[in-house]
């Protein structure tokens, strides 16, 4: 699963070099949401934020959760 996510992000970033960072944030939110919900009980939707620091592109995941789901939990 990690490979699929990494590949999708790589394809997204590679295919559109001049893309709007906010649309990248939106795509990342949609990609990560099912994974995050497998492990955490979100109290509200999370946000992906973007910051440019010189030549670095920095993305932040902002989460608010009520609990971490136990391992072996089967989502319904």
pLDDT given for residue 19 in this prediction: 65
The least confident of 8-12, 30-34, 39-43, 45-49 is 8-12
Domain borders along the chain are 2-68
**Residue 71 near residue 43 (C-beta atoms within 8 A):** no
DSSP state, 16? -
Output the pTM of the full model: 0.62
Q: What is the pLDDT of residues 38-69, one digit of tens each?
A: 889 999 888 999 888 888 888 899 999 999 88
Looking at the chain, list the stretches that DSSP marks H as alpha helix, in order from N- to C-terminal side: 2-15, 21-39
Bridge partners for 65 per DSSP: 42
- The average confidence (pLDDT) of the chain is 82
How many helices (H) and strands (E) would you count in the chain? 2, 4
């Amino acid at each position: 699963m990690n490979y699929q996510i990494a590949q999708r992000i790589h394809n997204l970033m590679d295919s559109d070099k001049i893309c709007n960072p906010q649309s990248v944030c939106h795509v990342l939110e949609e990609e990560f949401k099912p994974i995050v919900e497998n492990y955490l009980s979100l109290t509200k939707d999370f946000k992906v934020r973007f910051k440019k620091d010189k030549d670095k592109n920095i993305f932040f995941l902002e989460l608010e959760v009520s609990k971490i789901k136990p391992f072996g939990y089967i989502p319904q």
